[in-house]
Chain A
Amino acid sequence: MNTAVIQFPGSNCDADALHAVRLTLDPDAQFVWHTEAELPPGTELVFLPGGFSYGDHLRSGAIAARSPIMAAVKAHAGRGGFVLGVCNGFQVLTEAGLLPGALSRNRDLHFHCAPVHLRVENAQTAFTGAYQSGQVLEIPIAHGEGNYYADPETIARLEAEGRVVFRYVDNPNGSLNDIAGIVNERGNVLGMMPHPERAVEALLGSEDGRGIFESLKGALVQ
């Protein structure tokens, strides 16, 4: 699957994302600098990596969401192209309006870096087909602002439509309904706080994140 990993100034999981995608999904995955107006021709997956784009100035993800490349990312999503936003990438997606809600500071106001357990709530999406519904994954988190919030109607809709894809088993940050990851209505845009790109090699402790990339491989075939 042709993958573009977007680099904003201050992205810091960009190289990790590229490494993981090259290992699992697309050996030729490439970086795309945020000032580009277009994605490389044939891009199928856009990966918005974690980090502190623009130093988290203003609000996490707020400035990156207005980068030139984001217009192309929105158009790509509008065409049904896949978009995966992890951590700061999730924040960028909410700021860009591609996903509802917002990520605010963790309940205890501290940064947390630790492996967490996630339950796969919906294994029917393009990102989760390789998992079983109810399967529990171990994937690391590393964030200070992962506390998912949306208004009650939005939360109810996300739940009713099966768009809560991952839920924390033991909520580390205060997210409403223990939400760790959601998809858009069409199911082609996934935002999640945990870092699947850190969990694709047994050497680093967990391979549970591989399923997301494996699923996308399958999605292409469909």
Chain B
Amino acid sequence: MTHTESLRPQAATFGLTTEEYDLLVSRLGREPNALEAAIVGAMWSEHCGYKNSRPLFSAFPTTGPQVLQGPGENAGVVDIGEGWGVAFKMESHNHPSAVEPVQGAATGVGGILRDIFAMGARPFAVLDSLRFGNPDSPRTRFLLNGVVEGISHYGNAIGVPTVGGEVTFHPSYQENPLVNVMALGLLRHEDLAKGTMGAVGNQIVYVGSKTGRDGLGGAVFSSADLSAASQADRPAVQVGDPFMEKLLLEATLEAIQAGLVAGVQDMGAAGLVSSTCEMAYRAGLGITMDLDRVPTREEGMVPMELCLSESQERMILVPMPGREGELLDLLAKWELDVVTIGEVEAHDRYRLTWKGEVVCDLPVALLNEAPKYTREGVESPDIRAKRERDLSGVPVPGDLGAVLVDLLSHPTIASKRPIFERYDHQVMTNTVVVPGAADAAVLRVKGSRMGVAATSDCNPRFVYLDPYTGAAAAVAEAARNLACVGATPLAITDNLNFGNPYEPGVYYQLGQAVAGIADACRALNTPVTGGNVSLYNQYAEGDHKVAIHPTPTIGMVGVLPDVTVRATLDLKPGPHTLYLLGEHATGIGASQYLETVHGLEAGRVPELDLELEGRVIEGTLALIRAGLTTTAHDPSEGGLAVALAEMAIAGGQGLQVTLNVPEGVRPDAVLFGEAHSRVIVAVPVGHEEAAQDLLGGLGVPYAALGESLPGSDRVTIVLSGANVQLSVSLETLKAAWEAPLREILG
């Protein structure tokens, strides 16, 4: 086909720079028409094409004996043994949630679940990593309530339990909240499905909801800065229907398990186009589709809308040759709209027809091979100055007990129960460890002794002050959290949320964070199986640009060989000796304490020793598996003191510990500093020697801290050498910890 009029002046309306437009013309050998330019713009958007981030990803380790499916498919898959695999992935729905939180979050859940069942896996758990701005602001209340309602509405209705995640608050997310949703699915190895068109002659089947005008151009929308004008962009937010998705889920899994499917993919960002052209690319073949056959919700829809609509709950299925009829019958049983819209052909073109004419004829490779940019990254001098700031003048508060209460009532640290109770976290009857009870969720695998554990983690303050160490620390914390429930860490998915990569300061953060993740994953033997990138999380107020704290959320999956051998964070009945595995904190840099109590976001992120981390993880697992502890908790935001208080509150009993403050170390650092690679365990009295022998043999540094006090209602921490003691009643701690989220949720 020919098209001669240049669209170069309008390149930006298609989401392309003029350079990208010129590149398109030179690769195509002619001018594109408007539909083609729009399709290329969507496929080359950051959301689909990863043009600014992909070059960095070569650093990621992506292989290992546990990896059944690495990056490049709808989701990664790890082998957990006994013929079972776990498909998992995390994806952001940040921009839609900022504009319309209920539907933005709901469709975030819907989208990631489709990625999971497109792999042939039955979704069996969801975790949400949510970040909001100032907890006192009406906007935050509106967004938090909306996002929780959206997740609850969708997840509860479709019947996949929401079992964990994070909810934190920081002013940098005031305008750009983050909604990162991770889903896990269980599959038998033989049911692993792929997003491919298969072979020449295969039919292309559209199934699910009709196509409407909702979510039009979402991929481009999410790849640009938000502004006040974005509020007028509501049509770019999709609307979810969990009932339709439930039908789609059951039908898709039934079809895959019956061997009727040669390829499958969901229509996510950039809708019909991205799904079909990615499937064609993986098969190394061309396709022709007839847009007149696309089921529509309204009259008069044009090719651009049919191609780029992000209407939810739609899938592409490619039937096994010869079994098309069986597949259509099965889909009809589930009362789904089904149409054969095209065919796989022996060429390399992506061809679309409409009203008898070819309206798009592009090379499949051109669409799938977005340009890659490596940019110059430069650290912001402001952030460097914050990191290098001398903290020696920060006063040590007189009443450290009051500080502990303050920290527990910070919404980032406070109990998230009011949120979890709005999610069905038990449907499917696999949830062994409910949200909040431990550092990670644990699910049993029916018909096996095994359990699957999952967590999502990131401390954005660390990443902001030191992107390399902060991102590596997110991986380390995720692995440690899995170890704290008794699970061997297996692999990660990442969700990289950053500002505008065209800004050198942001690109620096992205590059450093990716390097940090890569090194930590290599050291801890947890390869990257996939991920998602969300850039442009910044808000323009006139000339002033506010970027979010860089937030590379790490989703990690692990396996428990025996789900009955596990740990939770609560102190258990009976007297126990408390141990710290790892080393005491020696500084207050980059801590929640420094920010909450002293109003300073500054200082050095504690040094991360990945070799030590590995030993602490090994030691924790060894203690749990030897039956020497059923309690484990890693200190994170708020440090050791907050972690001890959480264990006491959860166990409904007091404790007393004595911490040695070394010469030259501040007492508040030992209490509230956020050193990595630490785990608190509780060993039943009488078993200390066995525990110490085990830890000594593995070379894990440890210190006996003190004892749990069943029957006591006080948490007492003595700092020897500093002549400081704090003692607070459980009732006071509990009240401070439980109240904040109830108030914010209203």
Tell me, yes or no, whether A57 is within 8 Å of chain B by CB.
Answer: yes
| Contact A55 to B427, CB < 8 A, known contacts A9-B247, A13-B159 | no
Closest partner residue, chain A, to B431 (CB atom): A204
Identify A204's interface contact among B152, B242, B420, B429, CB under 8 A. B429
Interface string of B633-676 (1 = CB under 8 A from A): 00000000000000000000000000000000000000000000
Tell me, yes or no, whether B35 is within 8 Å of chain A by CB.
Answer: no
Specify which chain B residues have a CB less than 8 angstroms from the CB of A28 in the assembled complex: none
| Contact A51 to B159, CB < 8 A, known contacts A19-B446, A111-B152, A114-B421 | yes
Tell me, yes or no, whether B512 is within 8 Å of chain A by CB.
Answer: no
CB distance A111 to B424 under 8 Å? yes
Closest partner residue, chain A, to B563 (CB atom): A203
Q: Which of B241-260 contact A (CB under 8 A)?
A: 241-244, 246-247
Tell me, yes or no, whether A105 is within 8 Å of chain B by CB.
Answer: no
Specify which chain A residues have a CB less than 8 angstroms from the CB of B564 in the assembled complex: 203
Shortest Cβ gap from B734 to chain A (Å):
17
Closest partner residue, chain A, to B420 (CB atom): A113
Q: Which of A14-58 contact B (CB under 8 A)?
A: 15-16, 19-20, 50-52, 54-57
Identify B157's interface contact among A12, A110, A197, A198, CB under 8 A. A12
CB distance B426 to A15 under 8 Å? no
Tell me, yes or no, whether A10 is within 8 Å of chain B by CB.
Answer: yes
Shortest Cβ gap from A50 to chain B (Å):
8
Shortest Cβ gap from A205 to chain B (Å):
8
CB distance B242 to A203 under 8 Å? no
CB distance B243 to A113 under 8 Å? no
The residue in B157, B431, B564 that gathers the most chain A C-beta atoms within 10 A of its C-beta is B157
| Contact A203 to B444, CB < 8 A, known contacts A10-B157, A12-B427, A16-B427 | yes
Shortest Cβ gap from B461 to chain A (Å):
31
Q: How far does the alpha carbon of A114 sit from the alpha carbon of B247 in the complex, in Å?
A: 27
Q: Which of B192-225 contact A (CB under 8 A)?
A: none
Interface string of A138-161 (1 = CB under 8 A from B): 001010100000000000000000
| Contact A113 to B429, CB < 8 A, known contacts A9-B243, A19-B446, A52-B243 | no
Specify which chain A residues have a CB less than 8 angstroms from the CB of B446 in the assembled complex: 19
* Chain A interface extent, by class: 20 to 34
CB distance A144 to B246 under 8 Å? no
Tell me, yes or no, whether A112 is within 8 Å of chain B by CB.
Answer: yes
CB distance B428 to A16 under 8 Å? yes
Specify which chain B residues have a CB less than 8 angstroms from the CB of A111 in the assembled complex: 152, 156, 422-424
Q: How far does the alpha carbon of A76 sit from the alpha carbon of B420 in the complex, in Å?
A: 39
CB distance B241 to A113 under 8 Å? no
Q: How far does the alpha carbon of A158 sit from the alpha carbon of B422 in the complex, in Å?
A: 31
Closest partner residue, chain B, to A20 (CB atom): B429
Closest partner residue, chain A, to B437 (CB atom): A205
Shortest Cβ gap from B373 to chain A (Å):
44
Specify which chain A residues have a CB less than 8 angstroms from the CB of B242 in the assembled complex: 52, 55
Tell me, yes or no, whether B304 is within 8 Å of chain A by CB.
Answer: no
CB distance A113 to B428 under 8 Å? no
CB distance A197 to B429 under 8 Å? yes
CB distance B426 to A142 under 8 Å? yes
CB distance B335 to A9 under 8 Å? yes
Specify which chain A residues have a CB less than 8 angstroms from the CB of B431 in the assembled complex: 204
Specify which chain B residues have a CB less than 8 angstroms from the CB of A10 in the assembled complex: 157, 243, 246-247
Provide the main secondary structure of the chain B interface: loop
CB distance A112 to B421 under 8 Å? yes
CB distance B243 to A55 under 8 Å? yes
Q: How far does the alpha carbon of A12 sit from the alpha carbon of B429 in the complex, in Å?
A: 11
CB distance A142 to B156 under 8 Å? yes
CB distance A12 to B159 under 8 Å? yes
The residue in A55, A113, A205 that gathers the most chain B C-beta atoms within 10 A of its C-beta is A113
The residue in A50, A55, A112 that gathers the most chain B C-beta atoms within 10 A of its C-beta is A55
Q: Which of B396-426 contact A (CB under 8 A)?
A: 420-426
CB distance B422 to A112 under 8 Å? yes
Specify which chain B residues have a CB less than 8 angstroms from the CB of A15 in the assembled complex: 428
CB distance B422 to A113 under 8 Å? yes
CB distance B159 to A113 under 8 Å? no
Q: How far does the alpha carbon of A51 sit from the alpha carbon of B250 in the complex, in Å?
A: 14
Q: How far does the alpha carbon of A141 sit from the alpha carbon of B564 in the complex, in Å?
A: 24
Tell me, yes or no, whether B158 is within 8 Å of chain A by CB.
Answer: yes
Identify A142's interface contact among B244, B247, B427, CB under 8 A. B427
Specify which chain B residues have a CB less than 8 angstroms from the CB of A204 in the assembled complex: 426, 429, 431-432, 444
Shortest Cβ gap from A202 to chain B (Å):
10
Closest partner residue, chain A, to B153 (CB atom): A111
Specify which chain B residues have a CB less than 8 angstroms from the CB of A198 in the assembled complex: 426, 429
| Contact A19 to B429, CB < 8 A, known contacts A10-B157, A111-B152 | yes
| Contact A57 to B243, CB < 8 A, known contacts A52-B157, A111-B422 | yes
Q: Which of A193-210 contact B (CB under 8 A)?
A: 195, 197-198, 201, 203-205
Q: How far does the alpha carbon of A144 sit from the alpha carbon of B156 in the complex, in Å?
A: 10
Specify which chain A residues have a CB less than 8 angstroms from the CB of B428 in the assembled complex: 15-16
List residues of chain B with CB under 8 Å of any chain A CB.
152, 156-159, 241-244, 246-247, 334-335, 420-429, 431-432, 434, 444, 446, 563-564
With contacts A12-B159, A55-B243, A142-B427 known, what are 5 further pairs, Cβ within 8 A? A10-B243, A10-B247, A13-B427, A19-B429, A112-B421
Could you jot down 8 A-B contacts, CB within 8 Å?
A: A12-B157, A12-B159, A50-B427, A111-B422, A113-B426, A197-B429, A203-B563, A204-B426
List residues of chain A with CB under 8 Å of any chain B CB.
9-10, 12-13, 15-16, 19-20, 50-52, 54-57, 110-114, 140, 142, 144, 195, 197-198, 201, 203-205
List of 6 A-B pairs having minimum Cβ-Cβ separation, nearest first? A12-B159, A55-B243, A52-B157, A142-B424, A16-B429, A113-B424
